[in-house]
Amino acid sequence: MSYYRRHLFFCTNVRPEGAERPSCGRCDSARLRAYAKSQLKELGLAGPGAVRANTSGCLDRCEEGPCLVVYPDGIWYTYIDESDIDEIIESHLIEGRPVERLRLPSDPPDSV
């Protein structure tokens, strides 16, 4: 058994105004990570043996973001607001059904 059953990493990287690439932190990712963390706690899903929602630096999928990844599942998501976070928690983390409409490709772009 692993210490956490699932680990969510939310990219919260913020690039300066006018940077060449977008950054998840400019799409409210820190606030929505905090929202996810509070929801997990409220639902009794947070902590050792359960789920942890961490901030992360750039995950290098900036143009597809804001993004988060769920391990050990290896499922990547983008999201816009609280309702997307709620759906990921309810469908993926509780019911075990990844949210297809929010998924980013799992395979690297040049994989065969």
Residues 6+ apart with CB under 8 A from 19: none
Q: Determine, following the binding rule CB under 6 A, whether residue 24 of this chain makes contact with ligand FES.
A: yes
Nearer to ligand FES, 24 or 51 (CB): 24
Contact 54, 20 (CB under 8 A): no
Nearer to ligand FES, 68 or 93 (CB): 68
Residue 112 and residue 106: Cα distance in Å, rounded? 13
- Taking CB under 6 A as the criterion, the residue among 11, 53, 93, 102 binding ligand FES is 11
- Taking CB under 6 A as the criterion, the residue among 43, 50, 59, 104 binding ligand FES is 59
Nearest to 42 by CA among 54, 1, 34: 34
Residue 36 and residue 89: Cα distance in Å, rounded? 8
Q: Determine, following the binding rule CB under 6 A, whether residue 13 of this chain makes contact with ligand FES.
A: yes
Q: Determine, following the binding rule CB under 6 A, whether residue 60 of this chain makes contact with ligand FES.
A: yes
Binding site for ligand FES (CB under 6 A): 11, 13, 23-24, 58-62, 65, 67
